[in-house]
């Protein structure tokens, strides 16, 4: 599942193009959409393919700017989150988009529960939320900070059984060394 081909083609587009089954988002406005529409597709794929090896790649829109358009209104837990120019408004909208991404990932985990499966989630870059570098330059939004804070990002491996257990082991995260690009 991915965006249509265009100016922002990524390696995920190449991988998706080699798949047996492809779902591209056609007719969805990039700037006005969130990833909720992906859930029924993911559920159908998992339900339809009950056995055998498979790789499902889901390319989320996630927390790209405009953050307030990346989640349904029900996920606006942090306010104010839209229609204001305050720093906190942007940060609140970003936090809401993260909350929504967490929800989507929890639904994906629920769908693969009980299967021999691995969920691997990784971001494509960081976002700048008003950080200031050593020169006093302030950075905002989509990967505008040329420094390491946008080049390094967290990733998480998860097994559906381990992620659903309320144990110390399930709350541990894989620690990955930060390496320069």
pLDDT digits (tens, 9 = 90+) for 32-86: 788 998 899 899 989 998 887 788 878 788 888 889 999 999 999 999 998 887 8
Asked whether residue 18 is domain-assigned, the answer is yes
Asked whether residue 147 is domain-assigned, the answer is yes
Q: Give the pLDDT confidence score for residue 78 in this predicted structure.
A: 96
Q: Give the pLDDT confidence score for residue 131 in this predicted structure.
A: 79
Asked whether residue 179 is domain-assigned, the answer is no
- Domain range for 25: 2-62+108-171
Q: Give the pLDDT confidence score for residue 11 in this predicted structure.
A: 66
Q: How many Cβ atoms are within 10 Å of 130's Cβ, its own excluded?
A: 12
Which residues 6+ apart lie within 8 Å of 113 measured at CB? Answer: 160, 161, 164
Asked whether residue 75 is domain-assigned, the answer is no
Q: Which residue has the higher pLDDT, 132 or 16?
A: 132
Q: Give the pLDDT confidence score for residue 154 in this predicted structure.
A: 57
Q: Give the pLDDT confidence score for residue 30 in this predicted structure.
A: 66
Burial 4-35 (b: 16+ CB within 10 A, else e): eeeeeeeeebeebeeeeeeeebeeeeeeeebb
Q: Give the pLDDT confidence score for residue 143 in this predicted structure.
A: 55
As for how many domains the chain has, the answer is 1
pLDDT tens-place string over residues 87-125: 899 999 999 999 999 999 999 999 998 888 888 877 767
Structure tokens at 175: 């620690």
Burial 93-108 (b: 16+ CB within 10 A, else e): bbbbbbebbebbbeeb
Q: How buried is 118 (Cβ within 10 angstroms: 0-12 exposed, 13-18 middle, 19+ buried)? A: exposed
Q: Which residue has the higher pLDDT, 57 or 158?
A: 57
Q: Give the pLDDT confidence score for residue 173 in this predicted structure.
A: 38
Asked whether residue 90 is domain-assigned, the answer is no
Map tokens 């990932």 to a residue: 105
Asked whether residue 87 is domain-assigned, the answer is no
Asked whether residue 132 is domain-assigned, the answer is yes
Asked whether residue 32 is domain-assigned, the answer is yes
């Amino acid at each position: 599942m991915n965006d249509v081909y265009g100016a922002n083609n990524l390696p995920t587009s190449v991988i998706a193009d080699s798949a047996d089954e492809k779902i591209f988002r056609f007719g969805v406005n990039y700037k006005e959409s969130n990833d909720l529409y992906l859930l029924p597709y993911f559920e159908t794929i998992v339900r339809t393919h009950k056995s055998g090896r498979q790789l499902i790649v889901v390319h989320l829109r996630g927390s790209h700017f405009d953050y307030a358009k990346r989640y349904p209104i029900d996920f606006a837990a942090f306010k104010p989150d839209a229609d204001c120019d305050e720093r906190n408004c942007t940060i609140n909208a970003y936090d809401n988009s993260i909350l929504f991404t967490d929800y989507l990932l929890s639904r994906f985990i629920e769908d693969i529960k009980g299967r021999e499966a691995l969920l691997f989630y990784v971001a494509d870059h960081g976002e700048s939320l008003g950080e200031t570098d050593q020169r006093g330059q302030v950075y905002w939004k989509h990967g505008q900070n040329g420094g390491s804070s946008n080049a390094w990002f967290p990733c998480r491996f998860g097994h559906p059984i381990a992620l659903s257990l309320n144990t110390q082991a399930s709350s541990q995260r894989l620690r990955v060394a930060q390496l320069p690009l």
